[in-house]
Chains A and B, each alone.
Chain A
């Protein structure tokens, strides 16, 4: 609680609860700095940058796009399914998704 939760509550983007995981992916995949990564993801999602951490917006949008939601929704994409859709949405390769594709070839 003293570190992980304190940091998330003070300054975090809340992962799959909002869009923090998507912004992080662009930082790692394309070495984007924070501002650029936020703008890139917001454009791909069709939202304003401020809405990337608005759970009221992102909860519904993530379910609509089927890219993984924080609550357990029967039928919704999870894990590798969600990652495959995120790779397509963001236009980046994701290693386990590439492995899945190679298994289907």
Chain B
């Protein structure tokens, strides 16, 4: 007998139960070897196999196992373009937040600028302050301000500093490292400037989304911004990562004695805790060439280790291409709901 499954790119395939079992075992072992963490137990692998072989199209958790569901990227999903997986409905950001609150059943929501990076917010901070004020009057749920640290915007041709990739290619290693360190200083300064201004008008918190997308210097800038904001304001801080492994583009940057390059989720969260992060969002990337049984087992293994290592709530990232979901713009709900159940009941996450 064969069961429906999907590849990591979303393509529908059929697999035997034995093939599915082997994929789950290979997926969890891959995470265990890379992260030097425990693989899933035989019982947990069996449970994942049951989820994957469930004959129902969509699955759900058992009553009592529900978890908090939050959103990054905010209302851009409603009024944004395809580049942000938006559906292009012409409504205001305020209306988008209320739609998520009162129609989609979300537990928290997020306001974000259409570019969704911090740097472009700086010149329009007063507009964002005004929007936060209006949102705060009408929204009942917790609304964070979300954006990406996006260190890439600080490098030539988009920013003032040398492009590290070009410097590396030119053999100028010192120049590449210096550019990242200066960019991190500016990104730190901009994130603090923006969030302190939003705090002044009553913003509740910040979501640093896709942290470390530009490598370890990106992570460092965000940790420093978190530390300062927690020291000087009452903002709550959520930190969502960009990838399962922090890319060492700089390679030697440390935060409080911990080298940031190469950290996996169970190590990333300990650094985030030191900076003062309140809720941490680990990411595990989907391999589009492998089946979703392999991907889901691998993601659950990484995230379970992160949950167990953490002293703060863990809200796993489960958008397109991360957290055991297919790398496809409109992911099939059969795989999304299977990943959702697996993260809630095997990894024991505090939220999504």
Contacts and interface: CB of A to CB of B under 8 A. Distances in A.
Contacts of A20: 66, 68-69, 105-107
A24 B70 contact: yes
Contacts, number: 182
B6 interface: no
A67 B140 CA distance: 8
B142 A13 contact: no
Contacts of B137: 79-80, 96
Q: What bracket does the count of chain B residues touching chain A fall in?
A: 35 or more
Contacts of A33: 313, 350
B279 A15 contact: no
Interface string B223-245: 00000000000111010000000
Contacts of A75: none
B139 interface: yes
B14 interface: no
Contact of B104 (A8, A50, A93): A8
Given A2-B332, A6-B58, A28-B108, A34 B68 contact: yes
Contact of B107 (A1, A23, A50, A70): A23
Interface in A71-105: 78-80, 82-83, 86, 93-96, 98-99
A65 interface: no
A79 B138 CA distance: 4
Describe A's contact surface by its main secondary structure: helix
Interface in A28-49: 28-29, 31-34, 37, 49
B64 A31 contact: no
Interface residues of A, number: 49
Interface stretch (B169-177, B295-303, B333-341): B333-341
A53 interface: yes
A82 B108 CA distance: 15
B330 interface: yes
A28 B314 CA distance: 11
Contact of A95 (B204, B333, B349): B204
A4 B102 contact: no
B61 interface: yes
B138 A24 contact: no
A99 B60 contact: no
A29 B141 contact: no
A62 to B, nearest CB: 10
Given A10-B61, A12-B67, A16-B101, A21 B313 contact: no
A98 B278 CA distance: 20
Nearest to A49: B64
A25 interface: yes
Contacts of A6: 58, 331, 333, 336-337, 340
Contact of B205 (A28, A32, A93): A28
A23 B313 contact: no
A29 to B, nearest CB: 7
B289 to A, nearest CB: 21
Interface of A: 1-17, 20-21, 23-25, 27-29, 31-34, 37, 49-50, 52-53, 67-68, 70, 78-80, 82-83, 86, 93-96, 98-99
10 interchain residue pairs of minimum CB distance: A96-B136, A20-B107, A10-B340, A99-B202, A10-B337, A68-B140, A24-B107, A96-B202, A12-B69, A34-B350
Given A27-B279, A79-B139, A95-B202, 13 more contacts: A1-B333, A2-B331, A9-B58, A10-B340, A10-B341, A15-B106, A20-B68, A21-B140, A28-B205, A31-B311, A78-B140, A79-B138, A95-B203
